[in-house]
Each structure stands twice: as C-alpha cells, then as structure tokens.
Chains A and B, each alone.
Chain A
Amino acid sequence: MAAISTLRTVLTVAETVFGTRVDADDNFFSVGGDSVSAVELIARLHEAFDREIDPEVILESDTFAEMAESLHALRMNESA
C-alpha cells in the first residue's frame, strides 16, 4: 500500500488536472485522460514530488492507487 500521503498527493493533483473527483480505484483513462491531460498531470506530479515522472507510470497503472505505489517505491529507493 502506498504511503497515504503519496496517494493523497496523487489524487489531489489528478483532481486539479481533471476538474472532477478522482478515486483511488479510477485510472487515468477512466476519468477521461488524454495526451493533453497526461502532459499536465506529469508536469504537476513532477512539481509535487520534485522528481522525473516516467510517463509509463501514469499511462500504464491500472489505478491511481497503483500509480501512487509506483511513485512511493521510487521515492523510497532514492532515499535508501
């Protein structure tokens, strides 16, 4: 399970980009994500986490929870 704070940040950023409520079980495409919103989401997550965001993490995660787990794992690896 991703750290709650990472998931909360991901959902907050996603809600800003999509202008709608986003749940942990949604995925990027189920909330209407497209190439334009992907660029926005990646840029904002980059700002929020101060690290490069691999587009595959955004586009290929089955849920936002999974996306947050991937990002959390990357942060843990970096700080280890």
Chain B
Amino acid sequence: MSEIPAELRYTKSHEWVRALPDGSLMVGITDHAQGALGDLVFVEVPEAGRQLSAGDACAVVESVKAASDIYAPLGGEVLAGNDSLATQPELVNQDPYGQGWILRLRPDADPDSALLMDAAAYGEFVAAGH
C-alpha cells in the first residue's frame, strides 16, 4: 500500500499540500500517484512569481509512458519550483513527500476553505479505485 502522511491534505487529482509555518504551502504528488505513473524522466516546474488560480495546470510530470499535468490545489503566487527535479526527476519517485516536492505557493485563500481531503478521506478515495 502507498504511504499517506496524516499531516497533509490531498486533492482528487492526487496532489498533496503541506502547510508551512510561514503560511505558504508546499505541493507535490502522492506516493500512490508516483507509483501509478512509474519512473519519472522529466518534470517541468512553474517559475516563481507566476499567478495561479485553483485548478490551473501548473506543472508537468512525464514518466516513460506519458505526460501528466499537476493542478494548483489553491490559487496564489508561486514562490518557488523545485529546480532539483530538472536534473533528478527520480526524486519524485524516491521521496514524493520530501525531496520530490514540486512547488511552493503563497495562497490567496485560507487553505482550510479549499475542498481538500484529509489523509483518511484520501485513503478511501484511493481504495475506491481512483
């Protein structure tokens, strides 16, 4: 079974969201998602300063087989993309909740107001075959 850390929030498109002490959010893809995609060979992250609306395609992860969009879980300003992924896309496979993070975001809205799942709800969502 894939790992689903209890302290994170999750989207239906298999992103995770971590609230940082400074109010910004870190976003990545879940262990379940990286497992389903297989070996990642290319990741395109957004540049700092880009304004995103919730649901915007804001990054791309490409596995051997296919390209997949990453969607912004909330609107806000991109503070940073994870530039390490340009040369080491495999970090997303190896450490999806740590070194494989994809972007940091300063959200426009309170993250608690967004329709994000907690770990238990996301676990059920995955178990239901999504």
A and B: interacting chains: no
Q: Which residues of B contact A (CB under 8 A)?
A: none
Q: Which residues of A contact B (CB under 8 A)?
A: none
